[in-house]
Chain A
Amino acid sequence: MRKLLRHWEFILLILLVGVFILMSNLSPYFLNLRNLLDSTVHFTEKGVIAVCMAFIIISGNMDLSVASNMAMSAAVMGIAFRSGIGIWPSALLCLLVGMAGGLFNGLIITRVKLPAMVATLATFSLYRGIAYVLLGNQAITGYPYEFATLGQGYFPGTNIPNQFVIFIALAVIFGFILHKTTFGRSVYAIGNNEDACRYSGLPVDRIKVILFTVNGLLAGLAAVLLTSRIYSTRPNIALNYELEIITAVVLGGVSIKGGRGSMIGVVLALFLIGASRFGMSLLNIPGQMMTVVIGLMLIIAILLPQLLDRLSGKQGKTA
C-alpha cells in the first residue's frame, strides 16, 4: 500500500474518485454524463497547453507567457479575419503567431542566457501589451457559423465536445513522446542535470528552443479554441491562464525543480481540478472558495511526497 501511495498518480486517482463520490452525493446534477462532458471545455484549452508545459517544467524551465501569447495570437487572428482573408487562414495565422511568440521565448532564453522565468515574465507583459495595442478597447465579433464547431461543437454522433477530443489526442501524443522516445528522456535528463547533459553532447539549447516553440504553437491552438468558444476576441482573454496551467502541471506531480513527472499525472490533475470546480459550481460555492480549495490541493501536492519521504526515512532509522 505504501508503495502505491508513493505513486502520485495513484493518489490523484483516489482523490478524483473521492471528488466524484462526494459531489454526486451532494448534487443530483453532477453524475450526468452530458453535464460532465460539457464541463470539460472549461479546462481543455488550458489542458492543450499543459501537455507541453509539463515538458518545460520537467526540463527545469518555466513559461509564464502562454496566456499573454494566447491573447496576442487571438488579436492577430481577429484583425486578420476583419481584414477579410477568411476564418481558416486567420486561424492558421493565429497558430503561426503563437509559434513565433514561443520561438522568441526560446531564443532569448538560449542566446541571451536569461533564466526562463525572467524571460517569459518579460514576454508575459510584452505579448499582452501587443494584444492591447492591436485591439485597444474594442472587441472583434461576427465570426462565421462554421468556426463555432471547433470550440462549441461535438464530435460527430456523440456528446463529446470537439475540444475534449483534441485535448485527449494531444495528451496521448505528448505522453508517448515524453515517455517512449529519446527526446523525452533527454528532457528528463536536462531537468536533472543540465550541465552534465551539455558535457555529454546533448543539444540542450536546441531542445529548449523546440520546447518553447511548441508551447507557443499550442498557445496559438488554445487561442483558436477559446475564440471559437466565446465567439469574440478581446485583448483581456485568458487572464491568469498561465497560473492555472502551471497549477495543474505541478498538481500532476511534475517537480517544479525539474526532472520528475508524468503525462498521466498531469491529465489526472486537470480532471481533478475540472471535476472539483464543476462540482463546487453546482453547489454554488462562491468563486473565492474554489480558489482556496485548489490552492490547498496544490499545497498538499507539494508537501505530501516530502512528508511520505520523511516518514519512511524515520521508520527506516528506528528499525
Chain B
Amino acid sequence: MSRKRLLVVGVLLVALVFALPAYARDFTIAMVVKGAGNPFFEACRKGGEEATGELGLNFIFQAPATPTSEGQIELIDALIAQQVDAILVSANDPDALVPMLRRAMDRGIIVVAFDSGVAPAGRHLFLNQADMELIGRIQVQMLAEMIDGEGEIAILSATSTMANQNTWIQWMQEELKEPEYAKMDLVAIVYGDDLREKSYNEALGLFRSRPNLKGIISPTTVGLAATARALEDQGLSGKIALTGLGLPSEMAEYIRNGTSEAIALWNPIDLGYVSTYMAHGLLTGTLKGEIGEVVNVGRMGERTITEAADGGLEVVLGAPFVFDIDNIDEWADVY
C-alpha cells in the first residue's frame, strides 16, 4: 500500500474522530402516540419526520401495542433512560402520564404535548389543534358557499354539555351575524349525543320538522357521518347541504357522491410537524417558553405562545384543514 494512500486513510480517520462528537451532539426527538397502527398517528409521524429532516435531528417514533397510559409510561421511561432530548406526546390520559413526564423534565428533557394534552405540570408546551373561533367560523363559511348564502339551516351537535362543541356553536352564531349571511336563518340546534343511532334519528327529525331546510352543520365526527347516511337513505343528497367536522376516511364516500361537498378537520401531519419545531425551539434556547414568544414553525410560518384554558402554555395550530372532492382521495387513506 502506498504511503499516499495510508495518509489519505489516516486523514479520513482523524476527520471521523472529530466528526463523531459533532454527530453525537445531534438532538434526538421522540414522538410517543396513543397506540400502534392508527392512521391518524402515522400521519403525525410523517410530519415529525419531515420537520426533523429539515432541522437535521434524529427522530424516534413509539406507540404502545394497546392504547393505554401504562404502556405509554413504560415507553417514556425507556426514552428517559436513553437520554433523548425531547419527547412529543399525545396522551391516553391527561393525568396518568404526569409523574413520568415530570421525571423526564427533571432530567432536562423537553416535553411538548400535542393532539391530546397532558396537565400543565407534565409539559412545557401544548400544541392545540383547535382554534375555537376559526373552527366555528369556517363551518358557516363552507355551508354558505354550498347554499349560496340563503335559506334555513340547522346544527346537529354532540351533547348539549360538550364544551368544545358549544364554543364552536357560539362562534358559528357570531359568524352568522355578518351581513353576507343575512339571508341565512339558523332555525334549530339538535343533539345526537355522539351516538350513531340518536344522531341519525335527530337528522330524520330535522328533515320532517323543517321542510324548507337548506343546510346542516354537524361539528362532530359521529354526527356528521350519521347525518350523511340519513340524507342518503332519504334521497335528500344534493337537496340539503351538509358540512361539519369529520374524518376524511369516514366521509370520503359522501364527499365523492356529493352528499357533503366539503368538511373540515385539523391536519395531523401539521400536528407532528409543528410540535417538532416547538420542541426544537426550546432545545436550542431560541424559545424560553414564555407567553407572547413567537415560534418559528418552518413551512407553516410563525405561531405565538399563549396561555391555555388549563392554565399552562400552548401554541394554537391555526385554521382547520378543508377536505373536498379535490383532495379527498389523497386523505381518505391517511386518517
Contacts and interface: CB of A to CB of B under 8 A. Distances in A.
A32 to B, nearest CB: 7
A232 B93 contact: yes
A231 B96 CA distance: 6
Contacts, number: 90
Contact of A287 (B71, B98, B119): B71
B63 interface: yes
Contacts of B79: 281
14 contacts: A35-B81, A141-B119, A226-B70, A229-B73, A230-B96, A231-B99, A234-B96, A238-B70, A278-B78, A282-B78, A287-B75, A288-B36, A288-B65, A291-B65
Given A287-B71, A287-B75, A290-B65, A38 B81 contact: yes
A139 B99 contact: no
B122 to A, nearest CB: 10
Nearest to A227: B96
Interface residues of A, number: 33
Contacts of A284: 30, 60-62
B296 interface: no
Contact of A236 (B36, B60, B68, B82): B68
Interface in A221-241: 226, 229-232, 234, 236-240
Interface in A190-219: none
A42 B74 contact: yes
B76 to A, nearest CB: 9
Contacts of B63: 286-287
B290 interface: no
A277 B70 CA distance: 13
Contacts of B74: 42, 277, 281
Contacts of A155: none
B110 to A, nearest CB: 18
Interface in B120-163: none
Interface in B245-266: none
Interface string A38-64: 110110000000000000000000000
B96 A232 contact: yes
Given A41-B77, A141-B95, 14 more contacts: A29-B81, A35-B81, A39-B77, A42-B70, A42-B74, A42-B77, A230-B70, A230-B95, A230-B99, A232-B98, A234-B93, A284-B30, A286-B62, A287-B62
B205 interface: no
Contact of B93 (A41, A139, A152, A286): A139
B94 A139 contact: yes
B37 interface: yes
A24 interface: no
Interface in B51-73: 60-66, 68-71, 73
Contacts of A282: 78, 81-82
B83 interface: yes
A297 interface: no
A27 interface: yes
Contacts of A286: 36, 62-63
A29 B81 CA distance: 6
A304 interface: no
